[in-house]
Structure 1
């Protein structure tokens, strides 16, 4: 019989399976269910994912798998679902349209739908299509009740009851029109920012470099914008970034760096750069790869009002004792299960469809 406990147990087992694939090493462990069937296969899928999308370096793929292995514990899942009424809903088919900007970016929606007792119909991005179907097979092996509850398609979506779709601002408009008759969560583009006060240590900036450079800055939780006090000296900032200098050895990143630098110089923009990162004064939140925008602020209260007014564009605010719900330097890419994208409680939505 399908129960919430069985579903939790399946994802906890998946977390244990993923714990074999960490940044330090890939190592087969004893006593992991169905490991002989799946370990080598997943190792191969990681390789194929990297070949299919050169942004998906081995380090970033393993960072993603390690992050999910840490998130999928019994304690974490119980804490996440404790206030939700998930046992009572009629099972529906929920379509999930996933982005492909970082590895396993749609996994939280996939997890949320299944843990809520629904069936999931997944439409993946071609940029990230190798890992999730394989992990879904593992889940079906450890919990046979999930068989028939997970479907992947590359065709037009049909026969679903609700939808969770993630895309750009342009595709969101299309989604809103196309799915107007269904219960939906439609996510648009968002970016993350850091508020610099001038009281940061060099260690804070080293940690911030993780928020800026992890996944090459392609995630919505990647910091692409800084707010800095008037007259700020960027020396400490650049010192903190220095430990990421190896990133320029990635050919795709280097090409973006060279291209964007040429565009800025031809447009005669004032930029500061250190050989692998450019910073430019700009009011926009979304900066191109290999660059971060910054904006000056005069008054802390005015900045807080501005960030509140523009919250629809913001995913995370990285800061130190500045604002409610801020994220510590270096922690944007380690969200908890209850840190919902766009602040929309997916489980609550799924409990009411």
Structure 2
């Protein structure tokens, strides 16, 4: 049995890593022929954005790198489709497994079904109900052609059922991103770039969504608000490449520490030791919920509502007053206490592999 696994961005690598380890464990335990090919589309091409993940997550270098690089959504999607089709035509597989909601996910899903191969979507059924988000379009298109769905929550199951997907094709397994988190917590390391900084009390900040960072005025207004609200606390800000050019003058900020993107284990170390996180990332909403760390999300909606209903996350949109008050609440310890969703236990990948063997045998 052969599985082709697709990854293209930082979050993708975090999600496929435990699946690869689960495949190896299953093959060893059950003495069966279970092979995989890891295809890296090259959607993230900077080593700090992808390359270091292979070492940090203890997975081998990809078997194939499509090297599509950065370009517009349409051009990138087209490049991935052409290159991935060529790969599948030259290499037999029993199914293609895609994760998440990036361009690589959608592009490889369409190619897979055009070639009449089985398609598996890990994290199927997530919905923000906001079609202005590129990721939402990718989710909808991917799920419209998927054969088998592995979901993170009951809410995702319900989304798929409402869209007419048969219950027999939906499997609630938990969150593979949490699998990686659980395996990595004891291996985290403090970033060298921050050696010598007084970080007894700090917030972690990440921003990358076009709606938040492409407008330099909006971005710098967010940063000035965060810088002021932090008070005496530092704000560690690993700057995403698309964000870097929009920051007008780093010298304007007293509390924000601007640093390059961090490898996974260093970023995780900063997250788990922070007093709170301000972000617009989907995955970080999940990780902070598991770690029970306060999370403030600069978005109007989320495809991960469980992080709000159950976890430690709150949406504040673009409301600067809420941004200020949220940071102040966290600083004085008045943030809500969350719990962990069902099946977010570090074993989702094992459930996926066991069910895949059953489905494909």
TM-score by length of 1: 0.32
TM-score by length of 2: 0.32
